[in-house]
Structure 1
């Protein structure tokens, strides 16, 4: 990374909670109809681009009582890692396989020129893997999906083709939340699929989080008398930009963010200490506002004009309102499950797909032309001093690197980086009777571990290297269930190396250490070593003092690259510029 003296730096000594419980879930592979009916349902809730500290249970001032309830009645993992962008994470989550083997070796939007056409870089979930939805359906589960998919829009990759009985999916990385419209010039249009057919959105009474939640409720209700358990996958567009929400949710936060992003960061760390997530010794770097990467620059809040502050305050309110509305919808779903008597018989997982996005729209003419063609309100001057329409129909909002940095507290940097700010997200799981309420663990876990965890809880067999007579890449994660239920302290042995790569930003995890690299322009192109269990802010680079470990982990990473057919990006590759190049490729 760039010099840590000007980076976002926070000292965070992570707490490791001793896991102890008398509860255990008996292995229950179904043998009779009665036993089959008693198998737990599964509900996977995915937030998009949500910051590490954006949940009340992780330190936020945003009102998330329903997600907080899941944490209070279940287990929280504070050292859980994913990919640094959405589609690679979702690929690993649904396949249990590294994204380079499963088709999303890189996001299609930022694919390097030398990666097009290479195996594992198809740009969609390929057929060399079997989705967890397919495995669950074949085991007798009703399977439902609603929301953002981002794993392909061709016939072989849409949810209907990958194991979901019922689905309503957005194929692209995002879209407007009020109307059927792309959110960025890289897309000419957006595509929605209901089961096997392309469809249009409703033209009235549509808001993405409301609609997707209601779809899942309707799916469950339709088959409630079938006697079969369900597996439901709900991928919210919240809180991916454009940030939008019903106005009442945004207005709830009037006055909350008037102190700026630095104050928000301090307040969140204070709450995290009170919650026991971090010890009192944690300090924040007062130089974080000097952080910059290209257009992502964080000005000192005190240097902003009154008008600039008003604009930025409303941007954070809009983001908070969108997160609040998502939690509100999760509450609707939880209430529904309670009403039908299935809440406590449902394994509920809540997680984010990556860290915060510091997106700040370019002021270049071609960008302004596109956004003003599609949105009435985008740039500060469009509002003419009245920001009450922000987040409503016709408004595009993002929130920039200042709020994104604060939302990611205490992790440094952002989405796309192989730093903790890109890879470390909240993970919460609830299943009463098996999980001690309020359990908190700081042991390392990875997104590919979710697949075997779900199968262990439900008693469904793990696929091998063949499925239904065809060769596949076998899921290779490790079940988190022994840690979740207090039977173990760690998910992975200290000798196991777990590699990761996206767009040239790479990492390898081993025991309590992480070795990572971010090439220019995002970083220095040098390997950095951190003991992430006690240094999640990655302030203390141990590479110079532990050269043998660095050498060992570089060798581990080289094996990872070879085993997963990673195609390195070429020298000079810049993901921000590649977006524009690939946009031209798609359009022409």
Structure 2
């Protein structure tokens, strides 16, 4: 400007015109640049908001929970937090799992058959296809794909899918995890519940020890809240797997939970079984014409027990009820925390049991006599950290009512379990779905909700396609049907086998495993599997056996030696 001041007026005017032109063009450029910048910023903000709006997913698995235990299924155990989820969502009366813990977990996390996933025989580790005893590279897990899609992934509780470092949840997609590697643990200490040794725990893949005095369900909830809290400010959705070990044996819980049920079960397991049948009908979970099947042959009539035996048996069920009560308390803690941080409304909750009620009583089994070196089952000690109580087949029959048998079996009592879906994306409220579905349907549901893509290859390995179907169209109210009437579902574990097509089912649990031992049932009017129709419905029987042959060949079923685990 100093140089400009020395010029004559004519030249000054000329330069003023030039500068004004430059400034005008510069202003236009600035405006354009600002517009582009704002547009890009808005586009990025919109994209971020779309990502942020994807729901969190909380998958809650109870261990060995009975079908009619919880309040919203008609049970007498107090479960107000689970019931609240149900009142704002959907209860399922025909949800199916595998008959034992590990194959269920393999199917759940992979969306595939337990043999494809590598868990054809719980406790069996081989190099044979389907019986590797760990998750194989034939599948990809839910946490792996959700993490790739931008989700945080957390887990606390029971793993039961391999004990080697490469099999750890830290290598299977979980960003943070605190897990019990084996199938059962003491709920208060590091003492093993499967032998006279120490239970194996890891956190984020590194070995760790249980801090004595913690209670399993409380501590697993603490861990999940801790993990969620670490990244709550980054607006990234999360997948949290609450793999609780409650109410799995040994039955241990603080007095304040079980004492409220004192005396409630003094009339025995047969009476409880009858009450459960009626309460399930009243809740609308089972048909009004359902009847109880015959009791398992192992069960002694209640009236044949001594007064001392009755007293101890009633205490078993009180302890069990207390564990379920505590489980509900902890689910309430998790819900409260999510409300406090503003994530409750944008969270999908799925609550299931991993199989039917459990009948095993290891401390009294000959192969597990070493457990008696640590555990004491005196009546006064029941429920404490050094007591080892199982409620056995007698209470398991009540827990599995109105179905036949319990855990281990491919009868409905072993595989037809509780499931509730509630929260984000669920438009149906206080709804009961009576149609068939299985845990194979959960993986495609989570991928559908999260926007994750299921690949044909993962980490350069070809993987098997998903076997289930997304539930999103149903839970969002867009359709009333989940599976077609001719949908086929089958499974096998240690010779306990079943195949279902529509309402028709073949079941086989006799040893040795022979095809002629399959029985045929029509579940539309016989959910207790009492009337074998294979001799009167021969065409239907042969049709389902042909489906079994296809399934058996597809997943390469073999019949390995039975395991004691």
Structures share fold, TM-score greater than 0.5: yes
The one of 206, 218, 230 aligned to 1:222: 230
Q: How does 1:159-174 map to 2 (within 5 A)?
A: 159-174=169-184
1:139 aligns with 2:131: no
Counterpart-to-counterpart distance in 2, 1:136 and 1:168:
19
TM-score by length of 1: 0.85
Q: How does 1:139-538 map to 2 (within 5 A)?
A: 139-185=149-195, 188-203=197-212, 205-284=213-292, 288=295, 291-292=296-297, 297-361=298-362, 363=364, 367-368=368-369, 370-375=370-375, 377-378=376-377, 383=378, 387-432=379-424, 434-461=426-453, 463-520=454-511, 526-538=517-529
Unaligned runs of 5+ in 2: 1-44
- Residue 521 of structure 1 and its aligned partner are, at CA, apart by 7.4
Offset from partner CA, 1:411-454 (integer Å, 9 cap, x none): 11011111001111011000256321111111110111110011
- Residue 481 of structure 1 and its aligned partner are, at CA, apart by 2.1
Give yes or no for contact 1:143–1:164 (8 Å, CA) kept in 2.
yes
Counterpart-to-counterpart distance in 2, 1:252 and 1:312:
16
Offset from partner CA, 1:519-540 (integer Å, 9 cap, x none): 2279996111122244221122
Q: How does 1:44-63 map to 2 (within 5 A)?
A: 44-63=59-78
After alignment, is 138-147 or 124-133 more displaced?
124-133
Counterpart-to-counterpart distance in 2, 1:255 and 1:450:
39
Secondary structure at 1:579 match in 2: coil
After alignment, is 30-39 or 440-449 more displaced?
30-39
Counterpart-to-counterpart distance in 1, 2:554 and 2:186:
39
Q: Which structure dedicates a bigger proportion of its chain to helix?
A: 2
- Residue 132 of structure 1 and its aligned partner are, at CA, apart by 0.5
Counterpart-to-counterpart distance in 1, 2:115 and 2:383:
36
Unaligned runs of 5+ in 1: 1-29, 581-588
Counterpart-to-counterpart distance in 2, 1:526 and 1:350:
34
Partner of 2:137: 127
Give yes or no for contact 1:124–1:152 (8 Å, CA) kept in 2.
yes
Residues 1:436 and 1:390: Cα distance change in structure 2 (over 3 Å):
same
Residues 1:493 and 1:31: Cα distance change in structure 2 (over 3 Å):
farther
Give yes or no for contact 2:513–2:559 (8 Å, CA) kept in 1.
no
Partner of 2:564: 579
1:106 aligns with 2:121: yes
Q: Which has the larger radius of gyration?
A: 2
Give yes or no for contact 1:466–1:474 (8 Å, CA) kept in 2.
no
- Residue 275 of structure 1 and its aligned partner are, at CA, apart by 1.1
Counterpart-to-counterpart distance in 2, 1:436 and 1:309:
44
Offset from partner CA, 1:187-245 (integer Å, 9 cap, x none): 74321110021111113x31100000010001111110011011000100001111111
Give yes or no for contact 1:444–1:490 (8 Å, CA) kept in 2.
no
Matched residues, number? 521
Counterpart-to-counterpart distance in 2, 1:366 and 1:541:
35
Counterpart-to-counterpart distance in 2, 1:116 and 1:537:
36
Residues 1:523 and 1:390: Cα distance change in structure 2 (over 3 Å):
farther
Offset from partner CA, 1:466-495 (integer Å, 9 cap, x none): 124332222221112222233333322223
Counterpart-to-counterpart distance in 2, 1:468 and 1:337:
34
Counterpart-to-counterpart distance in 2, 1:245 and 1:80:
28
Partner of 2:13: none
- Residue 363 of structure 1 and its aligned partner are, at CA, apart by 4.5
CA RMSD, Structure 1 to Structure 2 (Å): 2.0
Offset from partner CA, 1:251-295 (integer Å, 9 cap, x none): 11101101101111111122112111234333335x53xx22xxx
Give yes or no for contact 1:443–1:489 (8 Å, CA) kept in 2.
no
